[in-house]
Amino acid sequence: MLKFMPVFTNRKDISRQRCLDHYRCRHGKLAASVPEFSRHMVKYVQNFLMEEDRDKGVAGSAYVGVSECWFYSLDAFWTAFAEPRYAELREDEKRFLDLDDLLLVAASPSHIFGPTEDCAVKLFRFMALDSTADPAAAKIYWETGYSAAVRDDRRLRRVIRSYVQNRPMEGFVHNFPAAKGCDAADEFWFDHADALPDFFAAEAALRQRSGHDRHFDAARTIQFATTTKLLWDLGEDPAVGCFRVPLVGEG
């Protein structure tokens, strides 16, 4: 399974709210309405930046959203993006996001624990290796040591619904020349935003105990909390996404 995750900012000449309204209410419906493309994308989830909330420990971010575009294979991914009608989606993206300020992750998702049904709130973390880190050692630490520590931490298990590691595919190339990448991507799921303060406290302590910063550069980490909207799931007709898209202003 391939999970393609474009992480984006709003176009500089429009507001964040206008960007998110277009993404939520117009782009999602367009994606569901282009069967030549959507038939290859077996699952589509939109995630919207949660407003800054210091009481919950939710920080702001330059990024405003992240899509989860799921494909059964790399061949299916390339077939989808080679479809002539994909041009309609690319043109629409220009209306609300900055194509020169993208973070792109093509990953193999590994579900560490918890239910697999999408939930209301997610925390995304995109990490870069520390300049002194050994890539092989960092990979082992993250995929085995850190994941096991999260799985076995009682404080974290009380508040995290599910934990997913998005493990970047080596050698993946794309046609967005200005886009950045990352070396590892965490995804924590929650039933509600009230769980975030306890998560931040417990997870920060775990990272300190386990030597996380020896492997990953905290200064270059991109992290933000989101609310989530599933447009269509595995086994569903993408056309159902047209009926799950709200009208502008409905949220």
For position 250, what pLDDT does the model report?
Answer: 53
Q: Look up the CATH number of the domain holding residue 8.
A: 3.30.70.100
Q: How confident is the model at residue 60 (pLDDT cuts 50, 70, 90)?
A: confident
Structural domain includes residue 13: yes
Structural domains of the chain, count: 1
Give me Rg for the CA atoms of the chain. 18
Q: What is the pLDDT of residues 226-242, one digit of tens each?
A: 999 999 999 999 999 99
Q: How far is CA 89 from the centre of its chain?
A: 19
The crossing angle, in degrees rounded to 10, of helices 74-82 and 86-93 is 80
Alpha helix locations (H) across 83-217? Answer: 86-93, 135-140, 147-152, 154-159, 196-210
Q: Which residue range is the domain that position 99 belongs to? A: 2-243
Q: Does any domain span residue 251? A: no
Helix (H, G, I), strand (E, B) or coil at 158: helix
Q: Answer yes or no: is 20 within a domain.
A: yes
Domain annotation covers residue 155: yes
User: Please, which residues bridge with residue 216 across strands?
Assistant: 129
10 belongs to a structural domain: yes
Structure tokens at 28: 């999602």
The pLDDT tens digits of the residues spanning 70-128 come to 999 999 999 999 999 999 999 999 999 999 999 999 999 999 999 999 999 999 999 99
pLDDT in tens, 186-245: 999 999 999 999 999 999 999 999 999 999 999 999 999 999 999 999 999 999 999 999
16 within domain boundaries: yes
Distances (CA, A) of 101 to 60, 98, 209: 17, 5, 34
pLDDT tens per residue across span 95-106: 999 999 999 999
